[in-house]
A and B are shown apart, each in its own frame.
Chain A
Amino acid sequence: TQLLEQSPQFLSIQEGENLTVYCNSSSVFSSLQWYRQEPGEGPVLLVTVVTGGEVKKLKRLTFQFGDARKDSSLHITAAQPGDTGLYLCAGYTGRRALTFGSGTRLQVQP
């Protein structure tokens, strides 16, 4: 059983479209992180959200942490081909190791 479920698993859209990726759990997390991974490379941190209800913006990316700290979403406005990659959410449940979600593969067609 996956502690963190991401949806959708795969998303193919045209350049300029908007999209939202979801990360859900039945467990409470002290924080949630979002990473992006390119093929053949390690994940790179995009953002950390800590407070329930917190919203963070990174240019065209908007991250939200659920009020109960059990879920998070990533919204991309006007997607570009450079946004293509695997998006991973990951959370700390209190121990020192992250639990990663199942991943969302995004492909943005020019």
Chain B
Amino acid sequence: SQTIHQWPATLVQPVGSPLSLECTVEGTSNPNLYWYRQAAGRGLQLLFYSIGIDQISSEVPQNLSASRPQDRQFILSSKKLLLSDSGFYLCAWSVHLGNNQPQHFGDGTRLSIL
């Protein structure tokens, strides 16, 4: 069966520090991968999605970046965090082929910027 892992679960970082959140998927090949940010009790904002290694689409301009160095690894990074980067970050995967596929989410990373 397929599983998705995100870490860390919680992170407290000072303003201006770098960021690296990692997400890995097991049990499937060539998945579509996604990074979302969620404000408290609200919907999900798509940040990045990837259909393959080194193929990243950015949805919103920001000081975050994403990379996919391996087929089942997706990394969210920042060189200098802002207060506005606080939030709940979710990684997800879906089957690559076919339309209307469901997305499967990790348990998220709660990021607090001080």
Name A residues whose Cβ lies closer than 8 Å to a Cβ of B. Answer: 2, 4, 6, 30-31, 33, 40-45, 48, 50, 86, 88, 90, 92, 96-103, 105
CB pair B46–A97 under 8 Å, yes or no, is: yes
| Contact partners of B110 in chain A: CB under 8 A | 40
| Contact partners of A92 in chain B: CB under 8 A | 99-100
Interface flag for B27 (CB, 8 Å): no
| Contact partners of B45 in chain A: CB under 8 A | 100
Cβ-defined partner of B108 (8 Å) among A6, A42, A97, A98:
A42
Cβ-defined partner of B42 (8 Å) among A31, A42, A50, A103:
A103
CB pair B100–A42 under 8 Å, yes or no, is: no
| Contact partners of B108 in chain A: CB under 8 A | 40-42
Give Cα distance in the complex from A90 to B102, angstroms. Answer: 10
CB distance from B40 to the nearest CB of A (A): 10
CB distance from B28 to the nearest CB of A (A): 16
Give Cα distance in the complex from A99 to B46, angstroms. Answer: 8
User: Total interface residues on B, using CB and 8 Å?
Assistant: 25
CB distance from B108 to the nearest CB of A (A): 6
Name B residues whose Cβ lies closer than 8 Å to a Cβ of A. Answer: 32, 34, 36, 41-46, 49, 51, 57, 59, 90, 92, 99-100, 102-108, 110
> A98's closest neighbor in chain B, by CB?
B103
CB pair A42–B41 under 8 Å, yes or no, is: no
CB distance from B27 to the nearest CB of A (A): 17
> B44's closest neighbor in chain A, by CB?
A100
Give Cα distance in the complex from A92 to B99, angstroms. Answer: 8
Cβ-defined partner of B102 (8 Å) among A4, A6, A33, A86:
A33
Most central of A40, A41, A42, A43 by chain B CB within 10 Å: A42
Ranked nearest first, the 5 interchain pairs of A and B with the lowest CB-CB distance are A42-B105, A31-B100, A100-B44, A100-B43, A45-B102
| Contact partners of B57 in chain A: CB under 8 A | 97
